[in-house]
Chain A
Amino acid sequence: MSGFFDSIPTHMDFVGQKKAEKLFQTLILAAAVIGLAIGYHYEQFSYTVYSLGAGFVISCLITLPPWPMYRRNPVKWQKRRKETKSTKEDESSSPSSPSSKGKKKK
């Protein structure tokens, strides 16, 4: 089961993550402001809470799944080195020096 779930890609790229965060913050805040107006007008605080709940559900639907709009700027990895020894070096050096990983990501 876990293998099946792990096989589903859920990640977003960095630009997509920023976009998603801004989007759900805007959506929830808008739902809160609208709900505040409705609840104040109808003298029912439960309307405000329901409105916020609707905003929460909508923003979950929009920003939780990794929709294609969040994956348009994939990270450009460097090309793999050709040396045959490199795999051995990586295995031996990666636990001791995590900095090499970071360098590679850039």
Chain B
Amino acid sequence: MNTFLARTNAVFAFALSILAALTFFCAMSTSYKKYGDVVPVKISTARESVRNLPNYQAGRETCDLGMLNFDLEADFTKAFDWNTKQLFLYLTAHYKTPANVINQVVLWDHILLRQPEAKLSLKNHNVKYYFWDDGHGLKNNPNVTLTLSMNVIPNAGMLPIFTVPTTHTFTFPNIYTN
């Protein structure tokens, strides 16, 4: 503390320690927050159809390809608290087939940056990724559930994934569209 440099070092080191403490506090303050519960979401689908096409990624055999459009209304304003930098959103289809008990296919995703009104309103939106089944489990499937999940990217702390409790269930028709 006698010289200029020693004082600079002391002030800087102290400020840095306090910054670390603040960041830790910020991370702790949101570590138990359930982000999925503070986001009102409405999902609906339209024009569901199934096509039977060869999936060349897997082989030459034909597989079921689901087609649909979806509406999504959601308000993420409350998810952007002081520890949220951005959100990674993805829409997953869950269904059951005779071949597999658990099937999960991601149909769409989106990066939502911080903004004053973090609202999403999609109307009649196309899916982003192909809805392939690994067999013939989509035709006449009565119970396909869409869920919206969000990966919260924080300023400091864990990268948690939450699934919004509001879901939407729809049925695929029992004939192939060509």
Contact = CB atoms under 8 A, between A and B. Distances in A.
Interface of A: 10-12, 17, 20-21, 24-25, 28-29, 32, 35-36, 39-40, 42-45, 48-49, 52, 55-56, 59-60, 63-66
Contacts of B82: 39-40, 42-45, 48
A20 B82 CA distance: 33
Contacts of A36: 22, 25
Interface of B: 1-4, 7-8, 10-12, 14-15, 18-19, 21-23, 25-26, 29, 80-83, 155-156
Given A29-B18, A32-B22, A45 B155 contact: yes
A59 to B, nearest CB: 6
A25 B12 CA distance: 11
Nearest to A59: B11
* Chain A residues touching B, majority SS: helix
B11 A35 contact: no
Contacts of A24: 10-11, 14
A13 to B, nearest CB: 9
Contacts of B26: 39, 45, 48
Given A36-B25, A60-B11, A28 B2 contact: no
Contact of A48 (B11, B22, B80): B22
Given A39-B26, A56-B11, 16 more contacts: A10-B3, A12-B1, A12-B2, A17-B2, A24-B11, A32-B18, A40-B29, A45-B26, A45-B155, A49-B22, A52-B19, A56-B15, A59-B15, A60-B11, A64-B7, A64-B11
B65 to A, nearest CB: 43
A60 B8 contact: yes
B114 to A, nearest CB: 9
A86 B157 CA distance: 65
Given A21-B1, A63-B11, A43 B22 contact: no
